Structure 1
């Protein structure tokens, strides 16, 4: 299978080339040149690695990674992803926070690292994985590539705009992981990363690849946990699974849309944003107006220019078609606090602010008379946001063992101005 840029100004490439390049030379994002037929027979429930291998086989067909796909899926995606009930019989949670950094991004980061490790040529120069993070991506990527020979990770995060535990986690790896706290927003970090990938002279000096959600290697494996959850749901309830997904850069949400496109039994897809309203406003009006992000309690969603909207618009260029695929609504900080404060008694679960945004949308649907069941996608463990969650619930949140181990390590992040020239200089110095 070949992959093409959303901007159609770059030549088609193989899967391996799309993975290693990250961003297409014309600045676009890679998508398959053609989509597999949605007629795969999904007859029985399966694990996340099993679902991934079956879903991804057409995309890996003919690529040098094809023979390794099964091993990659089993190595990277064998993490718990349970759909758990709540005290409300119509509300369920898809828990995606049982990986090494307690966030959903562990799945895709581990998958990408497993692919890259198999693509690394003997005696090749060190490949720098450059990643901007609004909180969770950087930690997941750092964990996935930590101490892997042949790789260096450079993480940019907005100083003061992630939770204290996220900041500690991002800077707790050392070795081949270099963490920079940027004097700016996530959008500044993301713009600097895109400039680096567009800098052909830099890339000749410093081989670069991406692990942000612009990477096809992040997007494709995320379909697998939606597939596994939807198949199990269909077996138990004989109905389509409706998902409510907290979203910032739209990668996780797009993966759910693609899983449904490939024939999985998925019904409605609702997207929950925080006070950064660019996405719901675009879906309402058809007018895309990116703007500087606003800092909120749900910091991983503090995105004012969601990258994967470019992929969504390329897949569904007619706005009327796009609005048939997803709906979106924003949730303010006051509502997030209220949901977090009541979730333990109402649902039997303590939730992070991002998961709270998904629950807020479900409550709105219920108040409007919707009696269907919904699966809220729980994207991160609440212990990562103790400074936000604990004041709402009035008691400490238990810390999972993997996160506790990271928090016990020393942490150090270097300051960096929100200026591309300074990032470029640091990348050249790292070599």
Structure 2
């Protein structure tokens, strides 16, 4: 199997190995790393009795071929995928819920964050200068990255630290508490702005060559291939099991903001896995729904919604989406559909599914259920609604609406019992650079 090289979506950076792309996070020209081609895979290569880690190993082997991490891939997958992603039936017979919130921080980001940490632990030279992982979060990414890197003695010896930037007042109270609850080598910054402001600060720091010389930086957002590639695994695993049992592809409805999770599903289908139609469920931020409705791609300022982790006005992974379809916007629109769900519909969907079907979900998953409600019944499709976070993370939204307290998963409860600290930060590139220099 020949080794893949990895290119920038902007085409102005040299090709690199996968290990180099994972270590860098962002390409030096500001683009996102992509494989020079999307590999295909024979479905017979997958063990029909294999667990999620086994599926991930088989699926990702072509991406790692010839790379220094190739021999370690089975161990990396076994280390990262220690919890399940079950596909559970919904009340509607043509739909199921793909639950991705059974990890340590109760959100789908745990899969990719733990995989990235396992890769970096093997790539880091203990004698190298300290590495700071920068992550912008709209709620869940930061906690997953913090948990994956927190107090790991092997990472401490390698000098790996984490700086989490989140929009102050625009994440749920429990999300905010999670982000500031780690301490030690994990630092939280509450930014006086939107998620897009946090994302711009991170990208500016990663592209600052002078700052990088003083404070080596990498990324753990979905701009990192080390986060995106492992997220393909749960789509492949669910689709393969459905295909073996029913002889047809599995269709997906994915809540999305920054397009990372959806991008993973698109690439899974592109490799030849039995993935059928893909729907993107967005909140009131209209960048993606407007594009898929035929308008030009126009980033804009994000607006705050109940589905806060999707409050993104300039989704980074749109560059990867365009690359995947050769820059042809019409091809992108043909491959996917997107719908916008406003807060009133989110509330109504949460209440209706809880009252009528005892289906309690987070506000982000509710956007996908609202899209499901619009889909016709009776055709051959079976929809997997992607449940991205545990509803207990959004008690401030759900408990007043439902009229009762939500059960908190043990791992989340343990985080909420710890004290939380987050330093204030303005939307100021120089201020962030100064803070990072002091951290070093």
TM-score normalized with structure 1 length: 0.98
The match for 1:145 among 134, 144, 149 is: 149
Which digits, 9 at most, give the CA deviation of each residue in 1:123-181, with x for residues without a partner? 11111000000000000000000013121000000000000000000000000011000
Residues in 2 aligned to 1:413 and 1:130: alpha-carbon distance in whole angstroms: 15
The match for 2:37 among 34, 39, 44 is: 34
Are residue 311 (structure 1) and residue 315 (structure 2) matched? no
Counterparts of 1:39-58 in structure 2, within 5 Å, are 39-41=42-44, 44=48, 46-58=50-62
Which digits, 9 at most, give the CA deviation of each residue in 1:92-111, with x for residues without a partner? 10000000000000000000
The match for 1:180 among 189, 196, 204 is: 189
Are residue 214 (structure 1) and residue 223 (structure 2) matched? yes
Residues in 1 aligned to 2:333 and 2:106: alpha-carbon distance in whole angstroms: 32
C-alpha contact 1:45 1:231 (8 A) present in aligned 2: no
User: What is aligned with 2:272?
Assistant: 263
Q: Give the match's secondary structure for 1:108.
A: helix
Quick check: 370-379 or 274-283, which moved more? Answer: 370-379
Q: Give the match's secondary structure for 2:293.
A: helix
Paired residues, what number? Answer: 430
Are residue 427 (structure 1) and residue 436 (structure 2) matched? yes
Counterparts of 1:14-413 in structure 2, within 5 Å, are 14-41=17-44, 44=48, 46-148=50-152, 149=156, 150-316=159-325, 317-366=327-376, 372-413=381-422
Which digits, 9 at most, give the CA deviation of each residue in 1:173-197, with x for residues without a partner? 0000110000000000000000001
Change (3 A) 1:98 1:234: same
C-alpha contact 1:99 1:106 (8 A) present in aligned 2: yes
Q: Give the match's secondary structure for 2:44.
A: coil
1:203 Cα deviation after fit: 0.2
C-alpha contact 2:350 2:366 (8 A) present in aligned 1: yes
User: What is aligned with 1:417?
Assistant: 426
1:324 Cα deviation after fit: 2.3
Q: Give the match's secondary structure for 2:253.
A: strand
1:285 Cα deviation after fit: 1.6
Change (3 A) 1:270 1:87: same
Q: Give the match's secondary structure for 1:84.
A: strand
1:342 Cα deviation after fit: 1.6
Residues in 1 aligned to 2:256 and 2:51: alpha-carbon distance in whole angstroms: 24
Structure 1 regions of 5+ residues with no counterpart?
A: none
Structure 2 regions of 5+ residues with no counterpart?
A: none
Quick check: 410-419 or 371-380, which moved more? Answer: 371-380
Residues in 2 aligned to 1:99 and 1:403: alpha-carbon distance in whole angstroms: 10
1:210 Cα deviation after fit: 0.3
Residues in 2 aligned to 1:54 and 1:429: alpha-carbon distance in whole angstroms: 43
Which digits, 9 at most, give the CA deviation of each residue in 1:372-392, with x for residues without a partner? 421100000000000011122
C-alpha contact 2:41 2:59 (8 A) present in aligned 1: no
1:371 Cα deviation after fit: 7.0
Which digits, 9 at most, give the CA deviation of each residue in 1:379-407, with x for residues without a partner? 00000000011122111110000000000
TM-score normalized with structure 2 length: 0.96
Which digits, 9 at most, give the CA deviation of each residue in 1:27-68, with x for residues without a partner? 000000122234453563532111110111111111110110
Residues in 2 aligned to 1:425 and 1:296: alpha-carbon distance in whole angstroms: 32
Residues in 2 aligned to 1:135 and 1:424: alpha-carbon distance in whole angstroms: 23
Residues in 1 aligned to 2:316 and 2:365: alpha-carbon distance in whole angstroms: 21
Residues in 1 aligned to 2:126 and 2:160: alpha-carbon distance in whole angstroms: 13
User: What is aligned with 2:8?
Assistant: 5
Structure 1: which 4+ aligned runs deviate by more than 3 Å?
369-372
Q: Give the match's secondary structure for 1:41.
A: helix
Quick check: 229-238 or 139-148, which moved more? Answer: 229-238
1:370 Cα deviation after fit: 5.8
- Once superposed, what is the RMSD of the aligned Cα atoms? 1.3
Residues in 1 aligned to 2:277 and 2:37: alpha-carbon distance in whole angstroms: 24
Residues in 1 aligned to 2:220 and 2:316: alpha-carbon distance in whole angstroms: 13
Q: Give the match's secondary structure for 2:76.
A: helix
